[in-house]
Amino acid sequence: MPRKPSPAKPQPPRDWSGALDLFDRHLEDNERSDHTRANYRDDLDDFAGWYEWKYQEKPILAILQPAELRDWKSHMLEDRKYQPATANRKLAALSSFLRWAESEGHRAEIRTPRQVRKVQPPPRWLDLKEQRALLRAAERHAGRREAQLCKLLMHTGLRVEEACDLTWEAVEIRERSGKVTVIGKGRKQRSIPLNAEARAALEELAGCNGSVGRASGPILKGQRGPLTPRGVQSILAKLRRHCDLPELSPHVLRHTFGHNLAVAGTPIQVIADLMGHESLETTRRYVQPGQDDLAAAVERLAGGGDDS
């Protein structure tokens, strides 16, 4: 029998930029978002810029050495004074890139630096008093649209990107129930039931958009068109000044949703499914005491808290 031809060896990329182009194509084929792909590119370009400054030559994928990667880690922490989260993100991007290169036969296996250990602060959420203060401030100083935006985020736990991408076609509202269907991280779909507050917020938003009974297209709109994540963050930043909150962001409202579920005794697996968490370790943060809880506990030692 004739021998089968050996599989063709993968062609090595012409240079670092060529390797990044192939890696970006790999990410796109695996349906990673444009935002994720851009972050990978920025972090890997950052490494390449540092490497050329440090070693007076551009990095060559096939001959990178573990010591050079350790130098990059040290530079980020000691010279640039990056926070652990930033350094870890850049290390993770480099590690993913090198694992891909190894799997494609573009280089041998290489030992990458360990992630930087960091103390995970408790998540910030709004207590009931702060939630009411936020909604009052939105109605008084902003308007119906902004107040309903805050309600929607607090009662669905949507990530800001998910909320901005949400269209009326993904919403189902009935008299006593409803749901929204979103595509979250990793292109995973999930459905979130709508409670009475969330349904009322959506109906108000439809009215604000002049689309009651014929709603279609993006749900979150501003004066100039669909809201972007940056637009939502800007709205919340302005509202924060009117309700005297130390911090207010889409993520704080998402944390508020998760914490409210935990306080209501919702099982942790249910919270994880509603929020689109892959790991229960992420969800466990919502059932742990927050920063304000810790501060109140310490204050009570000095007799400054109310135990009633």
Report the catalytic residues.
159, 185, 251, 254, 277, 286
The two beta strands, 225-226 and 178-183, are: unpaired
Whole-number Å distance between alpha carbons of 94 and 113: 10
Whole-number Å distance between alpha carbons of 126 and 49: 41
Q: What are phi and psi of 83, to 5 degrees?
A: -65, 155
Helix axes of 144-156 and 229-243: crossing angle, nearest 10 degrees: 100
Whole-number Å distance between alpha carbons of 67 and 64: 9
Among the listed residues 220, 221, 215, 227, the one whose alpha carbon sits nearest the alpha carbon of residue 169: 215
Beta strand spans in 71-120 (E): none
From the centroid of its chain, how far is CA 102?
28
CB neighbourhood size of 226 (10 A) = 14
Whole-number Å distance between alpha carbons of 209 and 145: 9
Supply angle C-alpha 22, 26, 27, rounded to 5.
Answer: 120
Residues across the chain: 308
Among the listed residues 162, 119, 130, the one whose alpha carbon sits nearest the alpha carbon of residue 248: 130
Dihedral angle sign, alpha carbons of residues 33, 91, 16, 105: negative
Phi-psi group of 247: left, alpha or beta (phi > 0 → left; psi -120 to 50 → alpha; rest → beta): beta
